A and B are shown apart, each in its own frame.
Chain A
Amino acid sequence: MRMRTWAFCLNEANLNLLRNPVLAIASITTTAVSLLVLGVFALLSLNINTITTSLENQVAVRAFFNQKTSTVQEALELKTVRSWRDVRQASVITKAQALQQLKKEFGSQASVLDSLGTANPLEDSLTVTATTPRAVAAIAKQLNAMPGVVRVSYQSAVVTRLFDLVDGVRIAGLVLGALLLLGALLIIHNAIRLGIVSRRREIGIMRLVGATESLVHWPFILEGLILGLIGSVFASGICYWLYVAAYQGAAHSLPFLPMVAPNPTARDVSLMLIVLGVLLGAIGFRLSVRRLARV
């Protein structure tokens, strides 16, 4: 089509939007809200993912030796462990060091440990951190098989629970987002249908004077795209702005929280929302094609 024909179609689409402003606003609002929810959940789950990963990285595996294990053997085993793949760091903590650590953690209440006298019920241990979170379980298993090791412990419960949380947030976001998107889609579809009905006369005359079907379709395609685009630009802008605000707020009051930086992640999510919005408009039109053919 020629440039002026695009201008003609755009003009027809605009006329239609202006003729049904209430429905246009409803379409834009529902599109914006549903995309915003989707965007917020996407960023939320991305962040929980990062937090989980970073926590997992900090998880150390501790293998406790029985009392009879000699210092020499412990040193040998430490050497073996350090040679494993996926081991970032490994060190032996003697029971004396462990007791020292415990006293430190008890702080002002450390005096309760005085009742132990000179006895130290603790065991020597080997502390290992992994290079990747996924290797933690495997390392624990290997440690367990080593001579002199009585038990192995690592904070698996926290990590598992966080992973569950990520999955939960992701599923909730997807379900909620999908339902809202469906609602937005139906409202856009309805706006286009109403446009078709209210423009029956134009469509009839266009066909009568020899307009091609694509020329009959384009004003409605553009209408769908414009509705989707405006809605998604709102959603995208609000989503990005909210995230930057949250990020700055968190950096100030929760500096230990490893949040994902707004760029490029939030920017990409925002751009994705625009793509989704436009897609929504296109599908909204596609659903109306049959109605258009019957005019």
Chain B
Amino acid sequence: MISLRNVTKTYPNGVHALRGVELEVAKGEFTFLVGPSGAGKSTLLRLLFREEVATSGVVMVNGHDVGRIPLRRIPHLRRQIGVVFQDFRLLPQRTVFDNIAFALRVIEASPHDIHKRVEKMLELVGLSDRQRALPAQLSGGEQQRVTLARAMVSRPLVLLADEPTGNLDPANAQEIMRILLEFNRQGTTVIMATHAAQLVDRARQRVVEMEDGAIRRDELSAAYHEGVVR
């Protein structure tokens, strides 16, 4: 599903964000990306949905050579990838329903389809009763659930989450984690960059630890810290 081969990324300001990264993620896998800030987690995710282009190496997502994909094909790549950020990125003037529907409107889904799928997503993230609310009227946890719904409503194959619980209290973080695992259980490949050690420890999924632009550790059903066995 996802593979990075000898990928390096050097930003124009000379920062080496990634140095020879090798990574394979199978279809349906749940992968935590951990490591200190500046380790290259976000850069790695941004390469996957072609927000950035690797300086060298090959990035493959669902059969697309992401770095060499023609510009006009990028939208089609992105329709296969859902993305969630720490800062939610909701449209403040639109209701919860419209924020989620926005993702379907721009890919020209039918109104009937939009209605059906948005309703279903609202149910899945537990916000059916808040669909007429504006983002500002929601708590942080609820806002993040809306962005999750928006990312997943077009049924992407891959979900990328860049510190999705970074702004949330433990209870809300727990709820987001539950939803992410639920999406994964339904077949979505999930890669989640995080600093939330507790969540990682409890989920016991694959952990890829990065440090200074390289992969330091890659363990299945692991904990946040190396060697910790619970």
Whether B105 pairs with A207 at a CB distance below 8 angstroms is no
Contact with B along A197-218 (1 / 0, CB 8 A): 0000110111111111101000
- List A residues 47-71 near B (Cβ within 8 Å): none
B71: chain A residues within 8 A (beta carbon): 213
- List A residues 107-138 near B (Cβ within 8 Å): none
Whether A209 pairs with B107 at a CB distance below 8 angstroms is yes
Which of A206, A208, A212 has most chain B Cβ within 10 Å?
Answer: A208
A215 to B151 Cα, complex, angstroms = 19
Smallest CB-CB separation from B79: which chain A residue?
A210
A212: chain B residues within 8 A (beta carbon): 72, 75
Known: A209-B78, A210-B78. A204 touches B106 (CB 8 A): no
Whether B91 pairs with A211 at a CB distance below 8 angstroms is no
A5 to B111 Cα, complex, angstroms = 11
Known: A207-B78, A210-B78. A202 touches B83 (CB 8 A): no
- List A residues 181-233 near B (Cβ within 8 Å): 201-202, 204-213, 215
Whether B89 pairs with A209 at a CB distance below 8 angstroms is no
Whether A211 pairs with B107 at a CB distance below 8 angstroms is yes
A211 to B74 Cα, complex, angstroms = 9
- Residue A8 at the chain B interface, CB threshold 8 Å: yes
A2: chain B residues within 8 A (beta carbon): 108
B93: chain A residues within 8 A (beta carbon): 15
A105 to B157 Cα, complex, angstroms = 99
B154 partner, pick from A201, A202, A210, beta carbons under 8 A: A210
A228 to B166 Cα, complex, angstroms = 46
Closest CB of chain A to B229's CB: distance in Å?
38
Contact with B along A226-261 (1 / 0, CB 8 A): 000000000000000000000000000000000000
A210 partner, pick from B91, B107, B111, beta carbons under 8 A: B107
Known: A209-B107, A215-B106. A204 touches B89 (CB 8 A): yes
- Residue A1 at the chain B interface, CB threshold 8 Å: yes
Whether B83 pairs with A5 at a CB distance below 8 angstroms is no
Whether A210 pairs with B89 at a CB distance below 8 angstroms is no
- Residue A290 at the chain B interface, CB threshold 8 Å: no
Known: A201-B89, A202-B91. A209 touches B108 (CB 8 A): no
Whether B106 pairs with A211 at a CB distance below 8 angstroms is yes
A5 to B102 Cα, complex, angstroms = 11
A202: chain B residues within 8 A (beta carbon): 91
A5 to B110 Cα, complex, angstroms = 10
- List A residues 152-168 near B (Cβ within 8 Å): none
Closest CB of chain A to B102's CB: distance in Å?
7
A209 partner, pick from B72, B102, B111, beta carbons under 8 A: B102
Contact with B along A1-37 (1 / 0, CB 8 A): 1101100100000010000000000000000000000
B77: chain A residues within 8 A (beta carbon): 210
Known: A5-B108, A8-B105. A210 touches B76 (CB 8 A): yes
- Residue B103 at the chain A interface, CB threshold 8 Å: yes
A215: chain B residues within 8 A (beta carbon): 106
Closest CB of chain A to B105's CB: distance in Å?
5
Closest CB of chain A to B107's CB: distance in Å?
6
Smallest CB-CB separation from A11: which chain B residue?
B105
Smallest CB-CB separation from B76: which chain A residue?
A210
A202 to B98 Cα, complex, angstroms = 12
Which of B77, B83, B108 has most chain A Cβ within 10 Å?
Answer: B108
Which of B77, B79, B103 has most chain A Cβ within 10 Å?
Answer: B103
Smallest CB-CB separation from B84: which chain A residue?
A208
Smallest CB-CB separation from B110: which chain A residue?
A4
Known: A209-B78, A212-B75. A4 touches B107 (CB 8 A): no
Smallest CB-CB separation from A202: which chain B residue?
B91
Known: A201-B91, A202-B91. A213 touches B105 (CB 8 A): no
A212 to B74 Cα, complex, angstroms = 8
Whether A209 pairs with B91 at a CB distance below 8 angstroms is no
A211 to B151 Cα, complex, angstroms = 13
A204: chain B residues within 8 A (beta carbon): 89
B110: chain A residues within 8 A (beta carbon): 4
A1: chain B residues within 8 A (beta carbon): 108
- Residue B206 at the chain A interface, CB threshold 8 Å: no
Closest CB of chain A to B160's CB: distance in Å?
10
A213: chain B residues within 8 A (beta carbon): 71-72, 75
Closest CB of chain B to A45's CB: distance in Å?
47
A38 to B96 Cα, complex, angstroms = 48
**Apart from A206-B102, A208-B49, A213-B75, what are 17 other A-B pairs with CB-CB below 8 Å?**
A2-B108, A5-B105, A5-B108, A15-B93, A205-B103, A208-B83, A208-B89, A209-B78, A209-B102, A210-B75, A210-B78, A210-B79, A210-B106, A210-B154, A211-B75, A211-B107, A212-B75
Q: Please, could you name 8 A-B residue pairs with CB atoms under 8 Å apart, sorted by A?
A: A2-B108, A4-B108, A5-B105, A8-B105, A205-B89, A209-B151, A211-B106, A213-B75
